[in-house]
Chain A
Amino acid sequence: MRYLPLTADDRTRMLGVIGAADIDALFVDVPAAARKKDVFDLPRHAGELEVERELAALSAMSRSAGAGPFFCGAGAYRHHVPATVDHIIQRSEFLTSYTPYQPEIAQGTLQVLFEFQTQVAALTGLDVANASMYDGSTACAEAVMMAKRVTRREKAILSGGLHPHYAATTQTIAHAEGMNIVRQGAAIDAEAAVIDAIDAETACVVVQTPNVFGVVTDVTKIAEAAHAAGALLIVVTTEVVSFGLLKSPGEMGADIAVAEGQSIGNALNYGGPYVGLFAVREKLVRQMPGRVCGETLDADGRRGFVLTLSTREQHIRRDKATSNICTNSGLCALAFTIHMTLLGGAGLRQLAQVNHSRARELKAAVEAVGLEVLTPRFFNEIAVRVPGAAAALVEALLGDGVIAGVPYSRLDPHAGLDDILLLAATETTTSEDIAALSAALIRRLGQ
């Protein structure tokens, strides 16, 4: 077998050194009733060619996003990732290294994490960021639990524009910890409605901008209201390219910013792995979950980086830790850092402008076929009202080779918003794609 270096002769000689009669002698502690003599009822080993053929056949069964006009967003976005990114993350020294517990021989990973943290802090307009979370949704749940630790209050208010999967993840995890999660009804342009729900029990309010309907909101007033009541403001962003153009969460008064970082450096991957961004104000850093990399000196006085503030973490604090997270999204954070380094602030600004421009083109095209666009202020995503069920329309448009976005009902079937379709455009969306969508809509809607 190609992944196993030991030969039969090696095994015999090694058993001799150990003083064991055979391999079974090493499994002697397994209860006899649980020792399986036979090979399990699964296929036997296969050569590389055979496995590659099977996987290629499975891959070919799906219609990839890039195979034609495509308008899905709602928390994951198809962007162009420079070839350099994927080349570097496949270098052995990054791909096949562990969490950097031995900093003397992990400075590569550690310096990247320090750069990542600095980039995330700058993008979110906050002071410090951690070394990544699993994804945006789990980062959101962790932020809510962090707010409980900071404020010693148990109520969290989630806006009606928060991505329903984020709300569900937060409800599941924070509820288990005994928090009272108040989720406002789905609303396209009502992030500020959380203000009326803030009371003296409120640990945090969670708002999203651009929200799941694509609406951009200045949350400054929400921050003021939250702070006046002693609560924290958590700002969620699922499209981080928007940080290139829009006011940052920190600039608007957020205490914690969480985001899905997939858009920069990472493929769609059918939902994962992604990379959660988590940034806070300096004074909150010791309640932050997750790994953190910090600057220090070595024995010769040279600058170096280490994992630090580990007294917050599970391997030291066990049941008193700020989170149970261990493995995070290191390689996805590396991809983010490389892509962000290539872009720079200037490139990100330009990329954001192109995204916004394509979305303006998309909006005009949708309005031209007579559909109502419900998103008053958008970055690269809009909510559109369609006649009938959006899900049925998306299925119908597949017949024209167009993947026409995400029906809101898929995210939240109980909201009564079955006629809402979410459409996103990025720099990968061409004018031809938009024309194809328009033509298909005209054909299906009979206009």
Chain B
Amino acid sequence: MTMNAVGRPTRPEGSIETTGFKSLTGARALLQDEPLIFELGGWDKTGVDLDEAGHDASDLSGLTRGNVPLPGLSEPETMRHFVRLSQKNHAIDLALYPLGSCTMKHNPRLNEKAARMAGFADLHPLQPVSTTQGALELMDRLAHWLKTLTAMPAVAMTPKAGAHGELCGLLCIRAAHEAAGQAARRTVLVPTSAHGTNPATAAFVGYSVQEIAQTPDGRVDLADLEAKLGPHVAAIMVTNPNTCGLFERDILEISRLTHAAGAYFYCDGANFNAIVGRVRPGDLGVDAMHINLHKTFSTPHGGGGPGAGPVVLSAALAPFAPAPWVVHGPDGLHLVEEPAAEAVQAFGRMSAFQGQMGMFVRAYAYMRSHGADGLRQVAEDAVLNANYIKARLSGEMSAAFPDGPCMHEALFDDAWLDGTGVTTLDFAKAMIDEGFHPMTMYFPLVVHGAMLIEPTETESKRELDRFCDALLALAAAAKAGDTQRFTGAPHLAPLRRLDETLAARKPRLAWRPEPISVAPTPLAAE
């Protein structure tokens, strides 16, 4: 045995069988099991040191509660709890995150630093605007970038996410129709391949939804669109590039037909990353489009938000944009919070305050870093990476639309898995064992067993090759009958496959507390 001077072995002796090896505690080296805070904390414990209250709460007699039944942890315990939990997450900083339609790209840390500057983070939304000129200036510059990149004359900044932006866009459209005496238009046409938020949003504003058929090559069926347009149609909602990862070749004809029928063209901008800096939606006849700052402009997704969804608007819709908005005045920038006479067409308010300022700062820092030239390169590299994946995988997997290039995402169906006993879900779960996050599955609905892969522009060729090699190896294993690898996957993740039916049948949505033995904390000086 090789040892150092104090008798410590310095080389492993031979190979050690690890299959089936279990630690005595259930821990797996760096990966720790972690209880819930309700199983860890103390009911009278706290990890903050606060001043004593100088005055009591006797003036609130009869209005106060007993103890707050929540445990606390000291600072070191808190740190450990959340760091241990963090290690059970996949992240874009760890490996490729190829979720189609989600645009999981690198999140620059400069943007985080900027968003935390006191002149942005420590500003109250209602402090006098004379004291918030820097924040308003940033909003104004960001608006200018968004309008220029889209060739649209106006932008509503306040929507808080993509679906909120869709809602804002449809409310503008509804207000415009009402102003024109066209309130009877109450149908929205949506392609079968649309994101679920499109029909949900249309229903949210009281519209009924009718689906538009798709052509065999994955585009909007113009004849079907034309047949369904009419005096009852308020708008069409079309994603472009669409959810099959394809550019709508007939986009100009789509907008022409829509406008000729008196309807508006809402474009779902979730896939703007594919065309930013190269194609301007305003040149395509779009009337309204939300921009997911958390996709195209790289504000971090944070495990499910926050996002931001500013909506660019055509001249026809601009007068109906919701408050508040920034205007230039003789003594600086102002915020129009309650539209006066000149803007009574504004349809209302999407939320309290001015929108997602923290996301505005990050998105603006990202845009300034890339510049107009870099953003064009973003789109080109995003499209190049997706086509590279499509080309490399098409030998083993079946592309849903093999002819012609895709845009920023490559779509496969499950025809190539026929007879293997492996489903799209199984294949995706096996990717987890290989260190990758699964792609978007079973979406869009128009492709059987869909696998939608969006690499984004921030992947190196090396990482793309590593990803493609892994998928090709998995595809070969599936075809070779190594079925267990897939149906039992994942084998190596922190947890195995979870029982979603059990979760939904008898929902346990909060930890159930054991009887608390600690007496309620008395009020100060009571």
Contact status A34-B351, CB under 8 Å: no
Contact status B353-A271, CB under 8 Å: yes
A331's nearest neighbour on chain B, judged by CB, is B302
**A127 to B56 CA separation, bound complex (whole angstroms):** 30
Could you list 5 further interchain pairs (A-B, Cβ under 8 angstroms) beyond the known A6-B384, A108-B86?
A1-B370, A86-B116, A122-B510, A316-B196, A346-B521
Cβ contacts under 8 Å, B402 to chain A: none
Contact status B46-A342, CB under 8 Å: yes
Contact status A317-B200, CB under 8 Å: yes
**A166 to B349 CA separation, bound complex (whole angstroms):** 9
Contact status B247-A323, CB under 8 Å: no
Number of B interface residues at 8 Å Cβ cutoff, please give it: 208
**A118 to B351 CA separation, bound complex (whole angstroms):** 26
Which of A128, A291, A319 counts the most B-chain CB atoms under 10 A from its CB?
A319
Chain A 1-35 per-residue mask, 1 if CB under 8 angstroms from chain B, else 0? 11111100011011101111001011111110111
The answer to whether residues A76 and B391 also contact, given A55-B361, A118-B510 and a CB cut-off of 8 A, is: no
Chain B 420-438 per-residue mask, 1 if CB under 8 angstroms from chain A, else 0? 0000000011001000011
Contact status B160-A4, CB under 8 Å: no
Contact status A114-B60, CB under 8 Å: no
**A48 to B283 CA separation, bound complex (whole angstroms):** 32
**Interface status of B71 (Cβ within 8 A of chain A):** yes
**Interface status of B221 (Cβ within 8 A of chain A):** no
Contact status B200-A348, CB under 8 Å: no
**Interface status of B354 (Cβ within 8 A of chain A):** yes
**A409 to B447 CA separation, bound complex (whole angstroms):** 54
The answer to whether residues A135 and B369 also contact, given A59-B134, A338-B82 and a CB cut-off of 8 A, is: no
Nearest first, the 5 A-B pairs at minimum CB distance are A344-B72, A59-B119, A331-B302, A271-B353, A172-B348
Cβ contacts under 8 Å, B510 to chain A: 114, 117-118, 121-122, 127-129
**Interface status of A151 (Cβ within 8 A of chain B):** no
**Interface status of B486 (Cβ within 8 A of chain A):** no
**Interface status of B376 (Cβ within 8 A of chain A):** yes
Cβ contacts under 8 Å, A373 to chain B: none
The answer to whether residues A350 and B164 also contact, given A29-B246, A302-B495, A319-B199 and a CB cut-off of 8 A, is: no
B278's nearest neighbour on chain A, judged by CB, is A36
The total of Cβ contacts below 8 Å across the A-B interface reads: 725
* Cβ of B408 to closest chain A Cβ, rounded Å: 10
27 contacts between A and B (CB under 8 A): A29-B405, A30-B275, A42-B367, A58-B120, A58-B138, A84-B78, A86-B116, A91-B83, A98-B102, A111-B85, A122-B69, A272-B308, A292-B509, A305-B498, A308-B509, A310-B504, A319-B202, A321-B200, A324-B203, A327-B305, A329-B304, A331-B303, A331-B305, A345-B67, A345-B69, A345-B71, A346-B43
**Interface status of B264 (Cβ within 8 A of chain A):** no
Contact status A30-B304, CB under 8 Å: no
Contact status A117-B509, CB under 8 Å: yes
**Residues of chain A from 284 to 335 with CB closer than 8 A to chain B in the complex:** 285, 291-300, 302, 304-306, 308-311, 313-321, 323-332, 334
Cβ contacts under 8 Å, A324 to chain B: 163, 166-167, 197, 200-201, 203-204
**Interface status of B409 (Cβ within 8 A of chain A):** no
Contact status B132-A294, CB under 8 Å: no
Cβ contacts under 8 Å, A75 to chain B: 125-126, 352-353
The answer to whether residues A52 and B370 also contact, given A63-B131, A176-B171, A176-B206 and a CB cut-off of 8 A, is: no
A45's nearest neighbour on chain B, judged by CB, is B371
A398's nearest neighbour on chain B, judged by CB, is B128
Contact status B113-A104, CB under 8 Å: no
Cβ contacts under 8 Å, B116 to chain A: 86, 267
The answer to whether residues A90 and B112 also contact, given A29-B247, A39-B277 and a CB cut-off of 8 A, is: yes
Contact status B496-A306, CB under 8 Å: no
The answer to whether residues A105 and B125 also contact, given A1-B374, A330-B303 and a CB cut-off of 8 A, is: no
Contact status A65-B123, CB under 8 Å: yes
Tell me which of B89-97, B226-234, B471-479 binds A: B89-97
Looking at the complex, which one of A317, A356, A410 makes contact with B337 (CB distance below 8 Å)? A410
**Interface status of A180 (Cβ within 8 A of chain B):** no
**Interface status of A413 (Cβ within 8 A of chain B):** yes
Tell me which of A187-195, A226-234, A241-249 binds B: A241-249
Contact status A172-B322, CB under 8 Å: yes
**Interface status of B222 (Cβ within 8 A of chain A):** no
Contact status A246-B92, CB under 8 Å: no
**A357 to B277 CA separation, bound complex (whole angstroms):** 55
Contact status B92-A96, CB under 8 Å: yes
Contact status B47-A26, CB under 8 Å: no
**A44 to B502 CA separation, bound complex (whole angstroms):** 54
Cβ contacts under 8 Å, B43 to chain A: 344-346
Cβ contacts under 8 Å, B88 to chain A: 93, 105-108, 111
Contact status A272-B135, CB under 8 Å: no
Contact status B196-A314, CB under 8 Å: yes
Cβ contacts under 8 Å, A129 to chain B: 509-510
The answer to whether residues A168 and B349 also contact, given A90-B112, A308-B504 and a CB cut-off of 8 A, is: yes
Tell me which of B7-15, B34-42, B311-319, B411-419 binds A: B34-42
Cβ contacts under 8 Å, A332 to chain B: 302, 305-306
The answer to whether residues A98 and B97 also contact, given A3-B369, A109-B303, A165-B353 and a CB cut-off of 8 A, is: yes
**A62 to B128 CA separation, bound complex (whole angstroms):** 10
Cβ contacts under 8 Å, B378 to chain A: 4
**A244 to B463 CA separation, bound complex (whole angstroms):** 49
**A23 to B62 CA separation, bound complex (whole angstroms):** 72
Contact status A104-B490, CB under 8 Å: yes
Looking at the complex, which one of B392, B458, B511 makes contact with A114 (CB distance below 8 Å)? B511
**Residues of chain A from 133 to 188 with CB closer than 8 A to chain B in the complex:** 134-138, 163, 165-166, 168-169, 171-173, 175-178
**Interface status of A54 (Cβ within 8 A of chain B):** yes
Contact status A26-B387, CB under 8 Å: yes
Contact status B387-A20, CB under 8 Å: yes
**A321 to B438 CA separation, bound complex (whole angstroms):** 25
Chain B 43-70 per-residue mask, 1 if CB under 8 angstroms from chain A, else 0? 1111110111111110110111101111
A13's nearest neighbour on chain B, judged by CB, is B461
A251's nearest neighbour on chain B, judged by CB, is B65
* Cβ of B456 to closest chain A Cβ, rounded Å: 10
* Cβ of A4 to closest chain B Cβ, rounded Å: 6
**A125 to B64 CA separation, bound complex (whole angstroms):** 13
**Interface status of A433 (Cβ within 8 A of chain B):** no
Contact status A295-B503, CB under 8 Å: yes
**Interface status of B99 (Cβ within 8 A of chain A):** yes
**A107 to B34 CA separation, bound complex (whole angstroms):** 10
B121's nearest neighbour on chain A, judged by CB, is A267
**Interface status of B307 (Cβ within 8 A of chain A):** yes
Cβ contacts under 8 Å, A349 to chain B: 67-68, 521
**Interface status of B470 (Cβ within 8 A of chain A):** no
* Cβ of A291 to closest chain B Cβ, rounded Å: 7
* Cβ of B259 to closest chain A Cβ, rounded Å: 16
**A318 to B211 CA separation, bound complex (whole angstroms):** 12
Contact status A98-B48, CB under 8 Å: no
Contact status B498-A271, CB under 8 Å: no
Chain A 82-116 per-residue mask, 1 if CB under 8 angstroms from chain B, else 0? 10101111111111111111111111110111110
